[in-house]
Amino acid sequence: MAALKHIFNELHYEMVRKIADGGMGIVYEACQRGAGQFRKTVAVKLIREEYSTIPEFQNNFIGEARLVADLVHTNIVQTYHLGMIGGQYFMVMEYVNGVNLEQFLDRHVALGKSIPVDLAAFIVSRIARGLAYAHNKRDREGRLLGIVHRDIGPKNIMLAYEGDVKLTDFGIAKALDLMYNEEGQVIAGKDEYLSPEQASYAVTDARADIFPLGIVLTELLLGQNIFRNADRLESRKNILSMPIPRFSELRPEIDPKLEAIIQKALTRDRDQRYQSATEILTALEMYLYGDGYGPTNEKLGAYLRELMATG
């Protein structure tokens, strides 16, 4: 790492600390320096050294960078640059000063608190908003890119202390002409956050991101993923066949309107599920704001700052 820090310094990036350690890459907080004492905090994602010479991983990393370069939306972490140092690819990305949704959930468990129902629905509505943008993205020739994230889960959702909600890590997304994809042969995604299509090796479309969005919503509301099992195969079996409960029986504050949204998002037949991220976004916003004032970024930010300062 010392050698990489030296090289990054020459590229005007000062590595500050490791902030995430994933399967294929490592993410660091860094300070970008420029003329006139310009300084900007960024995130630098490095492809792991052991994968840096494998063409499949190189192509996926490059594909992810090319894909997200033009995804400019308030609910998606932006990517600024793709480069290579010492034979390793790296991406320079937007730095989100906050926590990921897994840390947010863990904090509530540690404090014995439940996430407020309206904030849980608000967080998921913002993810749906980012997904709706990504799913409808077209290239410069006007062709629909057909983006499917395929890895919706708490680790890939960031909450900023200002209250912004941002989707990140399109590392296993599929998109027209950009991403390595072997659907039908391999399962892309984490077993407890798969759609039934992914779990059964079927070819996916944008509706495959709606089911895990429903899983994330129920996990925020209940404090646990009901499909998770220590055995990965059992998690997949649960996704495919476990009876879907009435969530209002597990948490009484879940009213019939929200129950209906959850049940539709978790419909295994994708033709009966929400047909787009825009549809579930509209349903959640009608639920949140149909009777007047509802949660905002500012409310979420104030809640997050207080939560993380507690104890």
Walk me through the domains of the chain, giving residue ranges and CATH numbers: 2-94 (3.30.200.20), 98-309 (1.10.510.10)
Question: Tokens representing 281?
Answer: 């976004």
CA gap 12, 165 in Å, rounded: 29
pLDDT digits (tens, 9 = 90+) for 5-59: 555 665 678 888 988 887 677 899 999 988 888 999 999 988 877 777 788 778 8
Structural contact between residues 99 and 188, judged by C-beta atoms closer than 8 angstroms: no
Cα dihedral 246, 215, 158, 133 sign: negative
For residue 227, the cross-strand partners are none
* Catalytic residue annotation: 151
**Residue 303: alpha-carbon gap to chain centroid:** 20
pLDDT digits (tens, 9 = 90+) for 177-212: 665 556 666 677 899 999 999 999 888 999 999 999
Can you give the C-alpha Rg of the chain in angstroms?
Answer: 20
| Percent of the chain whose pLDDT exceeds 90 | 67
Query: In the 3-class helix/strand/coil scheme, how is 60-85 assigned residue by residue?
Result: HHHHHHHHHHCCCCCCECCEEEEEEE
Name the CA dihedral angle for 103, 32, 133, 301, rounded to a multiple of 10 degrees.
40
CA gap 106, 224 in Å, rounded: 10
For residue 44, the cross-strand partners are 28, 92
Q: What is the pTM of this model?
A: 0.92
According to the model, what pLDDT value does residue 139 have?
87
By C-alpha distance, which of 76, 95, 183, 88 is closest to 136?
76
